[in-house]
Amino acid sequence: MSEAEVRPTNFIRHIIDEDLASGKHTTIVTRFPPEPNGYLHIGHAKSICLNFGIAQDYHGLCNLRFDDTNPVKEDIEYVESIKHDVEWLGFHWDGAVRYSSDYFDQLHQYAVELISKGLAYVDELSPEEMREYRGTLTQPGKNSPYRDRSIEENLALFEKMRNGEFAEGKACLRAKIDMASSFIVMRDPVLYRIKFADHHQTGDKWCIYPMYDFTHCISDALEGITHSLCTLEFQDNRRLYDWVLDNITIPCHPRQYEFSRLNLEYAIMSKRKLNLLVTEKVVEGWDDPRMPTISGLRRRGYSAASIREFCRRIGVTKQDNNVEMVALETCIREDLNENAPRAMAVIDPVKVVIENLPQGHEEILTVSAHPNKPEMGTRAVPFSREIYIDRADFREEANKQYKRLVLGKEVRLRNAYVIKAERVEKDDQGNITTIYCQYDSETLGKDPADGRKVKGVIHWVSASHALPAEFRLYECLFNVPNPGAAEDFLSTINPESLKVVHGFVEPSLAQAKPEFAYQFEREGYFCADSRHSSSEHLVFNRTVGLRDTWAAQAS
């Protein structure tokens, strides 16, 4: 299969193909321009895969540029986390990391140019008055009383802004476009506002900061971006993007193209709301495994390959739609089924004593790390007289559909022997504390010699070798498909989104690497938690179950 045949296709790639064929562009340059005011989420992963993927496929370049124009909400912590997420997803930006703040001097000069052309003015309306003057979707706005100041006066007032001679909110620089425009974004938008705040890159050099719509298009042009890709909510802003570039002296004029943002069911894609979850301590942090952040998914055990595959499958269109959670879970389940090594863990343990084994019996079984991948090697699993099995894998009585251990019947221990349950011991409340069994010593790796058919297989761990472990069983953080539509999205929090239980794992998991997923046989896919797990206290996060539970819920 050729390289072209394996590439995804979408309307943006068709535009690029036409631009290259016509000679409009000979090299493709894209950019990923996050604001460093929070951690990236799965929606940003779609944009990362699109921008970096296009540059990769067309042998072009992709810049990582931080849109750092609001120092009040930004932090170097977010800068570092974003860089890590992009690299973890498998992408590399061209050259050094860029910042919009790299261009603050040039942006200031372009603002002065617009003032000098009579296309920008200093406005002293209060924020409340400005909203009133702006009009509505059905009513035009009206001109500010400060709109017709002379060029000379505006230049002097903008310099006063620059020198910190106005208080915050007392003045701003606005473009002079059209207060009657049917597009509110074109009703004399603000280009600069005053903020007395230190910036993580420029310190206290500036007390005026450019707005996103003014900064973004100029940054694109200065970097020679050929295709500026953004989500559909910026569709109207394209008019301002073009207006700014058309009215300043700059040799490059990139084109903006919009695509639909990712809306994932049972998740929030608003950084403001995600930040509220963190600040209100609804979750442990930005990397909580229930969060749709890239760091949260990584901590939960999602692989970069599974996220890239998810972004490929959902595609790039101009139609907004809600993607079902099952689509994301299917990608990680398929990836881990193929690549995750196997291990055994008992999450709700009950003790089994194999009475026809001598006290102190111990043997080491050699077990494959993956049933379909011999190249992944083997692991040593100890077997002893006392083992733990999962409580749900035993019943005193059961019908023929139950394929696990039943009193008086046989079952196979995974990768080990056939055992038969003979009797049980219970506590004062009637709970089973111990199951007493016999084992068939001739059934290691083979069926019973007399032709008995043993259909069930259960997992287990040696009681004398097992390592105690904490298991964090995650479900969706919200209990409605579209929590963002709720009047109070916090009221839709799922109280069962995290269940913590304690059990045991086989000793091969003593040094389990954080964020590296295993298939715990018959339980699901789990990884050691990067925050809390240690060799002294093992903590495993459930990444995803073995099967699609959404289909079962729907039926």
Closest by Cα among 261, 359, 252, 356 to 315: 261
Per-residue pLDDT, 7: 67
Sign, CA dihedral 244-247-251-255, equals positive
Task: Kindly state the percentage of the chain with pLDDT values over 90.
Answer: 94
Containing structural domain, residue 314: 271-342+469-554
Residue 552 has pLDDT above 90, yes or no: no
41 among annotated binding-site residues: yes
Give the mean model confidence (pLDDT) for residues 47-75.
Answer: 97
CA end-to-end span of the chain? 39
In a domain, 155, yes or no: yes
Best CA proximity match to 36, nearest among 88, 90, 89, 72: 72
Shared domain check, 322 and 276:
yes
Using CA atoms, how far apart are residues 526 and 509, in angstroms rounded to an integer? 11
Which two structure tokens, joined as six digits, stand for 276?
A: 């509220």
Same domain, 39 and 156: yes
Residue 116: the pLDDT is 98
User: Is residue 388 very low, low, confident or very high in pLDDT (cuts 50, 70, 90)?
Assistant: very high
47 labeled binding residue:
yes
- Mean pLDDT of all residues in 357-384: 96
Is the confidence at residue 54, as pLDDT, over 50? yes
Residue 53 annotated as lining a ligand binding site: no
Task: Report whether pLDDT(64) > 60.
Answer: yes
DSSP 3-state of 362 = strand
What is the b/e burial string over 158-182, where b = at least 16 CB atoms within 10 angstroms of the residue's CB?
A: beebbeeebeeeebbbbbbbebeee
Domain boundary among 208, 224, 259: 259
Q: How many Cβ atoms are within 10 Å of 1's Cβ, its own excluded?
A: 5
446 is in an annotated binding site: no
Range name among 132-146, 262-276, 335-349, 437-451 with the lowest pLDDT average: 437-451
**Residue 264 falls inside a structural domain:** no
Do 300 and 412 lie in one domain? The reply is: no
Both tokens of 391, joined, read 């409580």
**90 in the same domain as 223:** yes
pLDDT at 555: 42
Q: Are residues 325 and 395 in the same domain?
A: no
Does residue 63 form part of some domain? yes
> What's the mean pLDDT in 295-323?
95
Beta strands in 73-186 (DSSP E): 98-99, 120-123, 172-175
| Known active-site residue 261 | yes
Instruction: Give residue 6's pLDDT.
Output: 55
- Residue 3: pLDDT band (50, 70, 90) is very low
Tokens in use for 203? Answer: 């310190």
Give yes or no for residue 554 having a pLDDT over 60: no
Please state the domain count of the chain.
3
Query: How many whole angstroms separate alpha carbon 381 and alpha carbon 465?
Result: 9
Given the residues 255, 261, 312, 351, the one annotated as active site:
261
Decide if 107 is inside a domain.
yes
**Mean pLDDT score, 106-135:** 97
Q: Tell whether residue 37 is among the known ligand binding residues.
A: yes
Same domain, 171 and 255: yes
What local confidence, expressed as pLDDT, does residue 548 receive? 79
Q: What is the pLDDT of residues 477-520, one digit of tens each?
A: 999 999 999 999 999 999 999 999 999 999 999 999 999 999 99
pLDDT of 1 higher than 60: no
pLDDT-derived band at 30, boundaries 50, 70, 90: very high
The residue among 420, 436, 459 that closes a domain is 459
- H or E element in which residue 131 lies: helix 127-134
Cβ neighbour number for residue 372 with a 10 Å cutoff: 8
Whether residue 269 is annotated as binding a ligand: the answer is yes
Whether pLDDT at 452 is above 90: no
271 in catalytic set: yes
43 is in an annotated binding site: yes
Q: Is residue 265 part of a domain?
A: no
The catalytically annotated residue of 7, 35, 409, 475 is 35
Which amino acid does the sequence have at 448? P
The tokens describing 340, both together, are 């995750």
Q: Which of 259, 280, 297 finishes a domain? A: 259
Q: Which of 98, 271, 299, 472 is catalytic?
A: 271
Can you give the pLDDT at residue 336?
Answer: 98
SS3 322: strand
Q: Residue 331, class by beta-carbon neighbours within 10 Å (0-12 exposed, 13-18 middle, 19+ buried)?
A: buried
pLDDT at 315 over 60: yes
Above 80 in pLDDT, residue 176? yes
pLDDT of residue 4: 40
Q: Does the annotation place 45 within a ligand binding site?
A: yes
Kindly tell me if the per-residue pLDDT of 132 is higher than 70: yes
Q: How far apart are CA 333 and CA 222, in angstroms?
A: 43
Over the stretch 233-273, which tens digit does the pLDDT of each residue have? 999 999 999 999 999 999 999 999 999 999 999 999 999 99
CATH number of the domain to which 69 belongs = 3.40.50.620
Same-domain pairing of 338 and 349: no
Query: Is 522 an annotated catalytic residue?
Result: no
Q: Are residues 129 and 209 in the same domain?
A: yes
Are residue 492 and residue 369 in the same domain, yes or no? no
Residue 294 near residue 39, CB atoms below 8 Å: yes
Residues 290 and 394 in one domain: no
CATH of the domain at 421: 2.40.240.10
Q: What is the mean pLDDT of the chain?
A: 95
Nearest C-alpha neighbor of 267 from the set 325, 331, 330, 333: 325
Say whether both 181 and 286 belong to one domain.
Answer: no
Statement to judge: residues 10 and 147 lie in one domain = yes
**Beta-bridge partners for 64:** 32
Tell me the per-residue pLDDT of 81-119, one tens digit each, with 9 for 90 and over.
999 999 999 999 999 999 999 999 999 999 999 999 999
Q: How many CB atoms lie under 10 A from the CB of residue 533?
A: 21
Rounded to an integer, what distance in angstroms lies between the CA atom of residue 541 and that of residue 122? 55
522 vs 511: CA distance, rounded Å: 22
Confidence of residue 550 (pLDDT cuts 50, 70, 90): low
